Amino acid sequence: MVFTGQSNQRRHVTKLLVVIGLVSWVTTFECPTAVADVKDSGKVYYVRNTGDDENNGESPERAFATIQHAVNECRGSGNTIYVAPGVYTESVEIGIGQGIKAGKGESSSPNRIIGDFAGRFIEAGSGPITIDGENRRAFGFKLQKTKGWAIQGLVLKNQTTHGIYANECDDTIIDDLTIHVPRYFAIYVLRGENLIIEDVDLIRTPTTGHGIWTSYTSGQITIERNRLSLTNADYLSLGYKDGYSRYRRQNRRYRFVYGIIAIGDYRNLNNSTRQERDDDDDDDHGEKKKGGGKDDSHGQSKEHKNSSIVIQNNVVSDAWLGIYTVNYGADDQAFISNNSVSGCYYGLFGYGYRGSVLLSDNIVTDSYIAAGAYSLNGGGAMIRGLLTNNIKRHPVTYVYGSDATQETVLEDRDPLWTNPSIGDFSLAFESPAVDAATGAFYVATDIRMVARPYNATSLDVARSDYGAYEFDPTVDHASTPHLVQWHEDEPGG
């Protein structure tokens, strides 16, 4: 099945107006440069599975046969690799192994690997570009100690451990991908500065691994417009809503699946802060918090860097932790806004050990705990704007710490999603989510890049909608959900 669409344009600067407690501030973040916003300053290479690595790769007629060979030819920044439709049975390494000599890009001039699924640049027909691990290769892409690489427009399937693994990589862009989730993680990012993960469609089953994990990350971290929901009979099938204890869950072979996890940089913090983190590693529900745990000796030897984490316009279902973020530095900030989450144990959780956390205008349904805000050391944590339905635990939120607050929590409100079992979390006009959001965090578009707010009910002052979708009658309910990437049907789907 083919889903088409235009590449998304991202803003270079996002202005955030955040109110936590009695403190207000306006912050401007410089985001990593978007793929669509850069110029080719290096060479252009072409890859097609009928090519030859003995070619020079500088024209479609003289294309390379493998992506790895094209990566190895990149020197410096600003290189572009166009990959023709077809299946590529390889694991691509950048900055390590076969790709140890690959050049490093810059934030304003990244090296780009682009799947040409529309046949615009190679004229080899249209179709998906599939990196096939053949159930024997661990990674689709493995990046190590590099910077300025963008991966766009590909399908990753049949890897045994990770779709994309990146360690100590800066200015990384992961954009417009379909990843069949392998055993461990679809995307795993450890230690890096400035990261964009967006428009990624994760194909999951009840037995596949986790979604997106980032830790030790600093700078601007943006995770947006990604889809991580189970579909058809698998939707709401994992039983996380029931809230069993860890012992019973493990003995019944329930799996602790993570949706989106974003952990800020906690390297080289003072000992008291690390001890506070470890002391609070178990909450009063008897569950292990995922922000703590063993420190990495390599990470602790390096200087702490501030992080600004934005997680917005995502759809997540059937995960033990739906969306989770934690930050440690006094100047760190994290924002979880306008997401649609269902079928989780914890729908949303934000922890601020010294930095601030805001959870705003999200929807959580069919879960055990809708959302949690945890604050230590005066950082501040707030839930502002939350629409919930069919939450088993009451109260539906978990707020802890003298600087943790909540307001505008709407309970037992069916969001009237169109058909979540097939991944369609768009809203009906009658939904209580329409024109009701608080706007505590400015989100300019929805998961489909539809502008916010639409103002469907003609309010004097327009308000956005809760969740990942903005109701707009010109696009809603006219077709199945719009994606910007090829998507392969699952067997029997």
Q: How many CB atoms lie within 10 A of CB 26?
A: 8
Pairwise pLDDT comparison (193 vs 25), residue with the higher score: 193
Q: Global pTM?
A: 0.85
Confidence at residue 27, expressed as pLDDT on a 0 to 100 scale: 35
- At 324 the pLDDT is 97
Backbone angles phi, psi at 274, to 5 degrees: -65, -40
Q: How far apart, in whole angstroms, are the C-alpha atoms of residue 402 and residue 172?
A: 37
- Count of CB atoms within 10 A of residue 397's CB? 23
pLDDT > 80? residue 279: no
For residues 387 and 360, the answer to whether their CB atoms sit within 8 Å is no
Partners of residue 14 on adjacent β-strands: 29
Tell me the HSE value of 1 on the side-chain side, using a 13 A CA sphere: 13
Q: Is the pLDDT confidence value at 430 over 50?
A: yes
Residue 329: predicted pLDDT: 86
How much of the chain, in percent, has pLDDT values that exceed 70? 79
**Per-residue pLDDT tens digits for 113-162:** 999 999 999 988 899 999 999 999 999 999 999 999 999 999 999 999 99
**pLDDT at res. 239:** 87
DSSP string for 298-324: HHHTS----EEEEEES-EEES-SEEEE
Q: Does 34 score more than 80 pLDDT?
A: no
Q: Do 140 and 188 contact (CB within 8 A), yes or no?
A: no
Residue 339 in tokens: 């997401």
How confident is residue 354, by pLDDT bands cut at 50, 70 and 90?
confident
Kindly compute the dihedral angle of the four CA atoms of residues 471, 477, 483, 488, in this order, to the nearest 10 degrees: 150
DSSP state of 99: G
Q: Residue 30: what pLDDT?
A: 35
Phi, psi of 319 (to 5 degrees): -140, 145
Which segment, 12-16, 36-40, 346-350, is predicted with the most confidence on average? 346-350
Terminus-to-terminus CA distance in the chain, angstroms? 11
Mean pLDDT of 83-89: 98
Give the model's pLDDT for residue 45.
Answer: 98
pLDDT at 253: 57
User: What span, in angstroms and rounded, lies between the C-alpha atoms of 35 and 9?
Assistant: 9
27 near 67, Cβ under 8 Å? no
Measured CA to CA, the distance from residue 79 to residue 134 in angstroms comes to 28
pLDDT at 296 over 60: no
Cβ 102 vs Cβ 74: under 8 Å: yes
> Where residue 40 falls among pLDDT bands split at 50, 70, 90?
low
Using one digit for the tens of pLDDT, what is the confidence trace for 450-473?
Answer: 999 999 999 999 999 999 999 999
Mean per-residue pLDDT of the chain: 84
Collapsing DSSP to helix, strand or coil, 424 comes out as strand
Are the C-beta atoms of residues 213 and 188 closer than 8 Å to each other?
yes
- Retrieve residue 151's tokens: 């991966």
Give the residue-averaged pLDDT of 6-13: 33
Give the separation between CA 87 and CA 57, rounded to whole angstroms.
Answer: 18
Could you give the residue ranges of the DSSP H alpha helices within 229-375?
246-251, 271-279, 297-300
How many other CB atoms sit within 10 Å of the CB of residue 232?
A: 12
Closest C-alpha among 217, 189, 371 to residue 305: 217
Looking at 87-208, list the stretches that DSSP marks H as alpha helix, in order from N- to C-terminal side.
none
Q: What is the mean pLDDT of residues 65-85?
A: 97
Provide the token pair at 280. 């609070």
What was the pLDDT predicted at 369? 96
Q: In whole angstroms, give the CA distance from residue 418 to residue 432.
A: 13
Task: Give 121: exposed, middle or buried? Use CB within 10 Å, 0-12, 13-18, 19+.
Answer: middle
Distance CA 28, CA 16 (A): 7
Maximum alpha-carbon separation in the chain: 65
Instruction: Give the model confidence (pLDDT) of 160-211 as tens digits.
Output: 999 999 999 999 999 999 999 999 999 999 999 999 999 999 999 999 999 9
Cα distances (Å, whole numbers) of residue 59 to 47, 139, 192: 9, 28, 34
Determine what percent of the chain is predicted with pLDDT higher than 90: 70
pLDDT, residue 254, reads: 60
The predicted model gives 85-112 an average pLDDT of 97
**Residues 6 or more apart whose Cβ sits within 8 Å of residue 354:** 273, 327, 328, 329, 330, 332, 376, 377, 378, 379
pLDDT band at 490 (very low <50, low <70, confident <90, very high): very low
Close Cβ partners of 123 (under 8 Å, ≥ 6 residues apart)? 60
**Confidence tier at 481 by pLDDT (50, 70, 90):** very low
- Cα distance between residue 233 and residue 464, in whole Å: 32
| 100: pLDDT strictly greater than 80 | yes
Consecutive H or E run containing 77: none
Question: What per-residue confidence (pLDDT) applies to 7?
Answer: 35
Supply the pLDDT for residue 171.
98
- For the cut 90, the answer to whether the pLDDT of residue 325 exceeds it is yes
Peptide bond into 395 cis (omega under 30): yes
For residue range 412-422, list pLDDT tens digits in order: 999 999 999 99
Q: For residue 426, what pLDDT band results from cuts at 50, 70 and 90?
A: very high
